[in-house]
Amino acid sequence: MENKETVGLGSSAKQAFEKLEKVGEGSYGKVYRARERATGRIVALKKTKLPQDKEGVPPTTLREISLLRMLSRDSHIVKLMDVKQGLNREGKTILYLVFEYMDMDLYKFIRNFRKTGKNIPPITVKNLLYQLCKGVAFCHGHGVLHRYNDSRKLIGLAWCVHVLESFRKSSLQYLCYV
């Protein structure tokens, strides 16, 4: 699958996307389902606030973007397609991470099966576990540790990960995605 960059790389997030609905929120920001205006493609926009007391983009944010671009090479991990800049109502700078949109996660998938009263077919379980293991193997092969404390973080493998910092092996850097 080809990872095409979002059209209008130089344009702001507000010009490039129409927010459709908020789909998640966490300590790292809010996530919206949005439509790319130029193509009509549905994406996930992760809105990340930048600290206003510092100039430029914090090193942790740059590390996150770099890591996500690297992880996007694997077909079992959700793709970071682009990074956009925008301003909030107060005029403060916000970064939007543009991901491919996943309309299903493991929690919803299991819940839908439970509603039918049927068990998930063994071949489906096997397929899901295979995909999970492939994504985990890619992460581990590139020095990325992870934690799945919530099944909503899985499928398309949009998950919460820890990144082992190369300079301080004893501390972990957190990257979370809804």
CA–CA distance, 95 with 77 (Å, rounded to integer): 21
Distance separating alpha carbons of residues 38 and 119, to the nearest angstrom: 42
State which residues form the domain around 94: 13-100
Same domain, 34 and 63: yes
Per-residue pLDDT at 148: 58
What integer pLDDT is reported at residue 62 of this predicted model? 86
Give the pTM.
0.73
**169 marked as binding residue:** no
Main-chain phi, psi angles of 84, to 5 degrees: -120, 155
The pLDDT of residue 152: 57
* 85-127 per-position pLDDT tens digit: 877 778 778 889 999 998 887 788 888 888 998 888 899 888 8
Structure tokens at 24: 């998640």
Q: Which residues of the chain are under the pLDDT cut of 70? A: 1-11, 27, 52-54, 146-178
Q: Are residues 114 and 148 in the same domain?
A: yes
Q: What is the pLDDT of residue 51?
A: 74
The answer as to whether 2 is a domain residue is no
The pLDDT of residue 136 is 83
